[in-house]
Amino acid sequence: MFVAAKGCVVLLSGGMDSATALVWTQAQGMTPIALSIYYGQRHGAELNAARQLAQAAGCEHVEMELPLGQFGASALTDSSIDMPQEPDSGIPVTYVPARNTVFLSIALALAESRGVHDLCLGVNAVDYSGYPDCRGEFIEAFERMANLATREGVEGRPFRIHTPLLDWPKERIIQEGIRLGVDYSMTVSCYQADEEGRACGCCEACRLRREGFEKAQIEDATRYIVL
Amino acid sequence: MFVAAKGCVVLLSGGMDSATALVWTQAQGMTPIALSIYYGQRHGAELNAARQLAQAAGCEHVEMELPLGQFGASALTDSSIDMPQEPDSGIPVTYVPARNTVFLSIALALAESRGVHDLCLGVNAVDYSGYPDCRGEFIEAFERMANLATREGVEGRPFRIHTPLLDWPKERIIQEGIRLGVDYSMTVSCYQADEEGRACGCCEACRLRREGFEKAQIEDATRYIVL
């Protein structure tokens, strides 16, 4: 008997973590629908990366424009706020207000529209940047809310949010990703990458990425902007 | 001493309920920021109504395009699904997957970006259409999630979601709105209004509106499409 693979909406930013989450869903036997939301980041390199990653995974890719950047209030979307070179204490200026809440909400809308009950988000609470919406207790509260908000949840076909990377240090993410066939040279982590996806090498995201490859003892194919 | 009025992000669709919620926030001494999200409804009449209402209230109006309609799966956004003329049993085909979750998430992002901690949504669980995301338990779960998701929530400056209309029958909404100065002739309720905002008179939303005005014993200025 043929059993159709279970669908799963995966938020795909084009960074390392979501690239790993994408192939993780395939390794679990699910059929991913990648969802990329262009929210007015400073650069479009991430979206190009997302397209390459979805193509490499051979999965459907849904893209959406969402002008969250018009609200400002983050160094990721507002070029008048300087990008920090050193780790902040507490929640950094790169925090985008309610970003993962908005992203998961749209993923939920897509999932329910398609009759899919699994969602996957590559959040990570270890080598993370102090964002409140990357923590397990946020994910649990979102899942609970989602199952009160939707027809599927209310009628007893609940949604489940998978966060396989939540407790993995960066080097484990890289090791698992390599094992599952991720080509990390396609991914962009840098907060201020140029249009070709070349990294600055000095922001918080670049630092975490470099340390991850060093600890995993895997060569890092990141291309850097040479000034 | 001058104390600045407390801001409040109000979701404003252009319908009767959100129009009433908007003036309610003003009556509470808050300064509303109206937020209208154009999500690919079948008609643009609601958005025109929202603009008029925001102007009449003298408040800031933020508009956002969000192509949720590309996901389909609702008679409100997919013209291939027939609009029902009779009440459905259970959750009707006009249900838009995760709509209020998405809307509240964007309202939360706007609020946090502006340093505002109050949100207001004109949901109603009495004369409603059976939507799961119009119930108090959904709103409570969203508020809890929001205060785990955000910098403001985590740092002890929690968000509060006001739903003043939640337990009011339609006639009370109309009576309160009239008392607070809402001009309901500006509002559009119909699921299939034409571009000028004229109502069909036969959909579920038209039926609830007509009954509300009858019970409130207030003349209804709704303009209908004459065939």
In whole angstroms, how far apart are CA A126 and each of A103, A131, B68?
21, 11, 33
Residue A89 lies in a domain: yes
Alpha-carbon torsion (B214, B215, B218, B223), positive or negative:
negative
Which of the two residues, A94 and B114, has the higher pLDDT score? B114
Q: Is A195 on the interface with B (CB under 8 A)?
A: no
Chain B residues with CB inside 8 Å of A91's CB? 151, 154-155
Whether A18 shows a pLDDT value over 70: the answer reads yes
- With a pLDDT cut of 90, the percent of chain B lying above it is 62
Q: Is A102 on the interface with B (CB under 8 A)?
A: yes
pLDDT band, residue B127 (cuts 50/70/90): low
Whether B186 shows a pLDDT value over 90: the answer reads yes
CA angle in degrees (0–180, nearest 5) for B106-A98-B107 = 25
Chain A residues with CB inside 8 Å of B71's CB? 109-110, 113-114
Q: Which residues contact A90 (CB under 8 A, 6 or more apart)?
A: A130
Out of A76-80, A158-162, A197-201, B191-195, least confident range: A76-80
Among A46, A17, A10, residue whose Cα is nearest residue A176: A17
State how many domains chain B has.
Answer: 1
Query: 3-class SS at B11?
Result: strand
- Total number of residues shown for chain B: 227
Residue A53 lies in a domain: yes
pLDDT tens column, B200-214: 988 888 988 999 999
Residue B117: what are its φ and ψ, rounded to 5°?
-120, 5
Whether B147 shows a pLDDT value over 60: the answer reads yes
- DSSP secondary structure letter of residue A199: B
Task: Report the residue from B109, B132, B149 with minimal CB separation from A154.
Answer: B132
Out of A22-36, A57-71, A111-125, B103-117, least confident range: A57-71
Range of the domain at B111: 7-183
Among B114, B120, B121, residue whose Cα is nearest residue B152: B114
Residue B114 lies in a domain: yes
The ipTM value here is 0.90
Which of the two residues, A127 and A12, has the higher pLDDT score? A12
CA B100 to chain centre: 9
Chain A residues with CB inside 8 Å of B155's CB? 91
> What is the average pLDDT value for chain B, to the nearest integer?
88
Task: Report the residue from A66, A102, A113 with minimal CB separation from B97.
Answer: A113
In whole angstroms, how far apart are CA A221 and each of A49, A173, A212?
14, 16, 13
Does A98 contact B149 at a Cβ distance shorter than 8 Å?
A: yes
Quote the CA–CA distance of A34 and A190 in Å, as a whole number. Answer: 21
- DSSP secondary structure letter of residue A91: S
Residue A196 lies in a domain: no
**What CATH number is associated with residue A115?**
3.40.50.620
pLDDT band, residue B223 (cuts 50/70/90): confident
Task: Report the residue from B109, B142, B154 with minimal CB separation from A97.
Answer: B109
Among B144, B10, B119, B112, residue whose Cα is nearest residue A97: B112
Q: With a CB-CB cutoff of 8 Å, which residues 136-155 of chain A face chain B?
A: 137-138, 141-142, 144-146, 148-151, 153-155
pLDDT at res. A217? 93
Q: Which residues contact B31 (CB under 8 A, 6 or more apart)?
A: B4, B5, B6, B7, B8, B25, B59
* Terminal Cα distance for chain A, rounded: 59
Q: What single-letter amino acid sits at A190?
A: C
What value does the mean pLDDT take over residues A66-72? 80
Does A97 contact B106 at a Cβ distance shorter than 8 Å?
A: no
As to burial, measured by CB atoms within 10 angstroms (0-12 exposed, 13-18 middle, 19+ buried), residue A156 is: exposed
**Residue A184 distance to chain B (closest CA, Å):** 29
Residue A25 lies in a domain: yes
Whole-number CA gyration radius for chain B: 17
Tokens matching residue A60 = 């459907």
Residue A167 lies in a domain: yes
Residue B218 lies in a domain: no
Q: Is A65 on the interface with B (CB under 8 A)?
A: yes
As to burial, measured by CB atoms within 10 angstroms (0-12 exposed, 13-18 middle, 19+ buried), residue B35 is: buried
**Percentage helix, strand, coil for chain B under 3-state DSSP, each rounded to 5:** 40, 10, 50
The answer to whether B24 touches B119, Cβ cutoff 8 Å, is: no
Tokens matching residue A134 = 């990357």
- Total number of residues shown for chain A: 227
Residue A191 lies in a domain: no
